[in-house]
Amino acid sequence: MGFISRGFRGKRRDTASSSRVPPGQYVVTDWPVLSAGPTPRVNVDQWTFSIEGEIDAPKRWTWKEFTALTTENITKDIHCVTKWSKLDTSWKGVSVDTLMDGVDTAAEFTTVFSDGGYTTNLTLDDITGGKAWVAYEFDGQPLHPEHGGPVRFLVPHLYFWKSAKWVRGIRLQKEEHPGFWESNGYHIRGDPWLEQRYWGD
């Protein structure tokens, strides 16, 4: 055993949930907000969602078209790199598999992009196969702007900065381009179970 913090006891978690909490994380019941800048106010009349880049025929949906797509109800634990985890969050959204249906691409990488210029990089493998959604309801209510509404990306198996707020589309790419946080010291992939928080982790 290595270093011990003299006098530290800590608050123990119940064992039922501890196996669901990645290393270095603690469970919260509220939902902290973390963003790099002001919260954009998105007008759904002008909102579209696009798939572009390495794709023969780029795809684009208006708000009306998007919200008419088949949705899924998703219940997942989410893990923020700032250390909090929130268990059993429930969402409604469209699976990326649904959006990618019929798309033939040579891309292995993607950049998910948002209003306000925020981007995050994800491999195509990390957002397909039932692992990622484009979500617009939380707990049965429209997603609040502070939490990324009207629509945010949801890729719960990676640290939550990958679940880009105010999302507007997916760019398919042959090479990996680090996104916003990934260019500012944070890990290129961000697997919470491997504690991939920062560059070099």
Both tokens assigned to 178: 């680090």
Asked if 153 and 134 count as a contact pair (C-beta separation under 8 A), the reply is: yes
User: What minimum distance in Å lies between the beta carbon of 54 and another protein?
Assistant: 28
Please report whether residue 8 would count as binding another protein according to CB under 8 A.
Answer: yes
Strand 109-114 relative to strand 133-138: parallel, antiparallel, unpaired? unpaired
Nearer to another protein, 10 or 140 (CB): 10
Distance CA 193, CA 157 (A): 9
- Cα–Cα distances in angstroms (integers) from residue 86 to residues 22, 29, 58, 123, in the given order: 11, 6, 35, 24
User: What minimum distance in Å lies between the beta carbon of 166 and another protein?
Assistant: 11
- The single residue among 75, 88, 117, 193 that binds another protein, judged by CB under 8 A, is 117
Nearer to another protein, 96 or 190 (CB): 190
User: What is the Cα 57 distance to its own chain's centre?
Assistant: 25
Q: Which of residues 127-146 bind another protein (CB under 8 A)?
A: 146
The residue range among 3-11, 44-52, 119-127, 157-165 that interacts with another protein, by the rule CB under 8 A, is 3-11
Asked if 59 and 141 count as a contact pair (C-beta separation under 8 A), the reply is: no
Q: Which of residues 28-67 bind another protein (CB under 8 A)?
A: 28, 30-40
Nearer to another protein, 73 or 184 (CB): 184
- Maximal C-alpha separation, the chain: 62
In the complex, which residues of this chain contact another protein (CB under 8 A)?
Answer: 1-12, 23-26, 28, 30-40, 82-84, 116-117, 146, 180-181, 183-185, 197-201
